[in-house]
A and B are shown apart, each in its own frame.
Chain A
């Protein structure tokens, strides 16, 4: 098993390296000198030249690449053009906000998704089932920005329960987290329902019932334990979607997170910042996938045996 995990780790590192390379290539293809763009249209050629040298853009591409990779390895992504601070420092302060947001959104998605999925599966074809599944489809199809704006409109503006924007207090995170988790909650609910329906047909469930276990015991100890496996994989996949959605929720609710930083990078034509935020997000996704894969190995004895 350890060997298996090591191989996966190596693969993850290679993919990360590839991602770093891809980002570098994409951002170097852009025509025009970033230094010239940065200094504005009417800048002096001498000023532009000085800037070019300062940013290391006068060096050959392969030197730039090595410099960039070596820097990234040390967690140094250069200095932001537009904000004038080291990118790593900007990202460090933004990351905590994104992390809180993503964790809360995940918690919301798990809680709502799993509970409504179980109820829908147990009361199959009841009104509750149809209601939950209808709402979950609405959740899956609702654009994140739409959910965020509707929540903001009703709960912050009309009812004044939550702050409209900002993260001065913990309450500021609640609406963004719901808006972000809404999507995943829908997918989790649908997945839990369909997995559970399959599992409830299995022989071992009948055995458990025959042993005289109560309904709740059967559900939690026997059915849910097995239904959690696909849910875990799904949450790893959802992490990527959540980081995508965070770009929108953070912008709408003015949260200083990684996603908002990436938007600022683009509007400010700030290549180091863009490079840093995008690569950092990719690293998070790769890490998430690796952890989910490894966890899957630990939790599912069938895979463990095969390996």
Chain B
């Protein structure tokens, strides 16, 4: 009975190990379950936790958020921050390169570029935000009507959207600008009219999907009116998509405005948007490249920040939108 002793020991050892392994497996399974539940709960969580998740996962979006905040602050506090006056000319110091006196140099009339950049941020941000809000409102309402009514109304709205989208955006903007004439309000209107169609299309697609969900079905069965379903159930559920679209449409509006102003077809001086500044400096590109490249870089940074933030928001809020 010598051998069994040893073998029993081995057997016991083996069993023990197996038990341990099983325990471990079970534990990790439980762990995974807990993790899964936690994620499930997180999925259901509020906007706030989503933003926290974004902050944790996407540092670039956070940095972009602060860059945008900085630009907004600069625009709002322009009168306090600006080292010089907005329109004072100094013909003795025309086209000065960036230096101690003028941090970003001076333009063709001797005006401080940093000062004009800060004031220009006001116009450029406004032309980014205001028309985008307008186009989102128009697009969301037409899109949700199109999706929930269907039939000839849907066909009408969507064909109209098709027609709008058939034009290259710059050319459409040029024609609308020509029709409306100069002025800040007309720039707003133009950009809103150019951009609503794509919003309407996306909202319509989402409304069609939402229409098939049980809760909308339930609402319809208990006799909730169509209008109420549209505004209570469909539109609020499109909100994450709309937020993402907003952050991605603002930079494209800023780009279109600056392109129009660059061609001299958008805002007119003495207004100062970044696009206008680039346009004004173009003649001096070889003598004094900073006059137009500095505001150009500002446009780029601003657009880049909005795009990063939009990308980050999309990953968190609306992964389906990713194409």
Write the residues of chain A forming the contact surface with B, with a CB cutoff of 8 angstroms.
Answer: 11, 14-16, 18-19, 22-23, 26-27, 29-30, 137-138, 140-146, 149-150, 152-153, 157, 191, 194, 230, 240-241, 243-245, 247-248, 251, 259, 262-263, 266-267, 274, 277-278, 281-282, 285-286, 289
Contacts and interface: CB of A to CB of B under 8 A. Distances in A.
Contacts, number: 134
B308 A274 contact: no
Main SS class of interface, A: helix
B299 interface: yes
Nearest to B177: A266
B251 A153 contact: no
Contact of B179 (A18, A29, A145, A152): A29
Contacts of B163: 15, 18-19, 22
Interface of B: 159-160, 162-172, 174-176, 178-179, 251, 255, 258-259, 262-265, 278, 282, 285-286, 289, 292-293, 296-297, 299-300, 303-304, 307-308, 322-323
Contact of B159 (A14, A259, A262, A263): A14
B243 to A, nearest CB: 20
A38 to B, nearest CB: 14
Given A26-B179, A27-B179, A266-B265, A138 B304 contact: yes
Given A140-B307, A141-B300, A248 B166 contact: no
B175 A278 contact: yes
Given A137-B304, A145-B278, A149-B292, A15 B162 contact: yes
A141 B307 contact: yes
12 contacts: A14-B159, A15-B166, A141-B300, A143-B262, A143-B296, A146-B300, A157-B286, A241-B169, A263-B263, A274-B178, A281-B167, A289-B166
A73 B304 CA distance: 43
Contacts of B322: 194
A145 B167 contact: no
Contact of A248 (B165, B175, B263, B292): B263
